[in-house]
A and B are shown apart, each in its own frame.
Chain A
Amino acid sequence: MAGIITVDDILTKYKGRPDALIDILHEIQDVQGFLSDTSIIKVAEALDLPASKVYGVATFYSLFTVKPRGRNVIRICESAPCHVLGATAIINALEKELGIKMGETTGDGKFTLEYTSCIGVCGVAPAIMINEVVYGNLTPDKIPHILSEYR
């Protein structure tokens, strides 16, 4: 029976492997939901890298976040194929339904709205990704139902 994975467990696994920085950040974010200042410093220590570099890498990639987010992260594809098939209406519906703007988190900490790059499901555009689940062929009227699964 595996216990709860901690940042230290992850770092023990990768100690002294600065090339694994991105994998490490992925794993920490999976565990903690975001990359806290404390974990960034810990990573820097374990890999013997300047903390500024770890922070620079963490802020370069859009899948990483250094700020806490809602429990459910809704990523909306605003790439051209989704845009052409009505992504803007989906964004409006999500913003209206959750009462927040893109980039914000709901007051109860349940939802964060973010843009994402193309998620490669253009065959069923427009699409969104909630956590790791993708929803395609969306129309604004499907939004309340989809969100209800997460409320």
Chain B
Amino acid sequence: MVTLTIDGRKVQVEKGTTILDAAKRIGIDIPTLCYHPDLEARAVCRVCVVEIEGQKLLQPACAYPVSEGMVVRTNTQAVRQARRMAVELLLAKHPQDCLQCIRNQNCELQALAERLGIREVRFERRLRGLPEDHSTPSIVREPDKCILCRRCVETCQNVQGVGVLFPAGRGADTVVTPVFGNDLADVSCALCGQCILACPVGAISERDDTERVWEALADPSKHVVVQTAPAIRATIGEEMGMEPGTLVTGKLVAALRRLGFDKVMDTDFTADLTIIEEGNELLERIKEGGVLPMITSCSPGWIKFGEHYYPDLLPHISTCKSPQQMFGALVKTYYAQKAGIDPANIFSVSLMPCTAKKFEAERPEMRSSGYQDVDAVLTSRELGRMLREAGIRFDDLPEEEHDDPMGISTGAGAIFGATGGVMEAALRTVYEVATGSELGDLEFEQVRGLDGIKEAEVNLNGLTVRVAVAHGLGNAKKILEMLRAGKANYHFIEIMCCPGGCVGGGGQPIPSTMEIKGKRGRALYLADRNMPYRKSHENPAIKQIYAEFLEKPLGERSHQLLHTHYTSRSKY
């Protein structure tokens, strides 16, 4: 333990603690900008500087380790002057179109300018005039807003292991950019959107599709159907101002009805369907000597990453479409048929934690119904915007139920939104299907939690099935490299593109730290425990769709509507 003095008060902390964290213990909140709790501190913005007795230089609290007897002052004239100057310098090159900015009122620079009382910028206003990037369906870049904090670089490079974003140029001409100043569409970006979560300002954001959805809702000829992804029920409350980890399934349904959606159905239903299809695919691959290990395919960021960086491993990926796309294919076939609606008039919206889902929906493979299966993808943040605009007060809403026929789901579907959830859901079903006996303990603790890579073994009548779970592409890479080297001795691997799984998706509320992601995940496991059905194969609606429409898992119709193929893409 180390004892130091901060602003005249003694504090005792563990060795290696930063000044920032030590100050927090005694209620001093040092302002930060480039600091992010999940990333290695780079101390580049110099906003968190403090005075240390005996040093002429101010030091960054976010990165400076405490030492015995250290005397720190966090609020002196020199400290305030330095902090304000840093923010003033940034503002002088920032567009300051805050009122129109997608991050208005959720911007760290804006909040900091307010907190430090910046009332004037004494330098010439000068924008860099860098071109915006609207090249992908997922992510918008406005480099003029960039304050060069490098959080996106750190995230893309070191957390996700992708490295599409990097600083180029030097000094005041430095820009964070894909190679050659290219647009994201022209590089090997997974479109996961983790850079958006990392960005403190509006320099990187999701493509906003709310207007297209408003138009569809306003069009009386359109039958607008919405599906709600598993993770959204644990995060939309947070987006609407509730505590992270508040589960709001019923209120979400009520809110969507009030926005004017004709049917509110559930992606959890197709998550269950995925388990049936994928579970059977796994058993078939094991039985028939197919390519193993099999890797999950629900996460479109992972799929795009795999296509760019591991094209040789594509045969390992399950051919199952993601739950979003299974839903999309069924809503314009099965549901249209059942409800007697011309699929041409159905506008299918999905509510997703994810920016890569926007790309997935536009893939040419995703038109099995003869139409684009999913017409618009909204992230949690976009839905939040629509709800606020419509004046829907979330806490006052009643709890409502999803619509039939694709509204009934199980706890297995719900946990899809957390890392390890797909694996756990699959194991519940695969065990019972393969062994024919009932599973005693449903909860596979080994695959839960936020460890980067998790492993487990399950005994299926003498066959030991080895599984692994990775979340975040950086962790996925480790397993994929093992696989390439022939050292991944597993049958089944779950890969989720985003750290924490979909609760940490690139479309989720900001801020999205690992701590918050943990709370969101726990909410989904709570949902699971409270569900009447907790195994996908027990879902009565699933039994019904096989009976009425699909006939059998991996059947002809399944292949036509629920399975897909992948495309090898360039790494550079």
Chain A residues close to B by CB (< 8 Å): 37, 40-41, 44-45, 49-56, 59-60, 62, 66
Contact = CB atoms under 8 A, between A and B. Distances in A.
The dominant DSSP class at the B interface is loop
Nearest to A62: B170
Contacts of B571: 45
Interface in B130-183: 157, 162-170, 177-180
A52 B165 contact: yes
Given A41-B572, A45-B572, A52 B177 contact: yes
- Tier of interface size on chain B: 10 to 19
A40 B170 CA distance: 18
A50 B157 CA distance: 9
B168 A50 contact: no
A55 B180 contact: yes
Contacts, number: 47
Contacts of A45: 571-572
The listed residue with most B CB atoms (<10 A of its CB), out of A37, A44, A56, is A56
Contacts of B180: 37, 40, 55, 66
Contacts of A54: 179
A56 B572 contact: no
B168 A56 contact: yes
Contacts of A50: 157, 162-164, 166, 179
B164 A52 contact: yes
Contacts of B162: 50
A53 B572 CA distance: 12
Contact of A55 (B157, B168, B170): B168
Nearest to A41: B572
Contacts of A37: 180
10 contacts: A40-B180, A41-B179, A45-B571, A45-B572, A52-B164, A52-B166, A52-B179, A53-B157, A53-B163, A59-B169
Contact of B167 (A41, A49, A56, A62): A56
B164 to A, nearest CB: 6
Contacts of B187: 51-52
A59 B180 CA distance: 10
Contacts of A41: 179, 572
A48 to B, nearest CB: 10
A52 B178 CA distance: 6
B166 A60 contact: no
Contacts of B164: 50, 52
Contacts of B572: 41, 44-45, 51
Contacts of A59: 168-170
B312 to A, nearest CB: 15
A60 B169 contact: yes
Contacts of B170: 59-60, 62
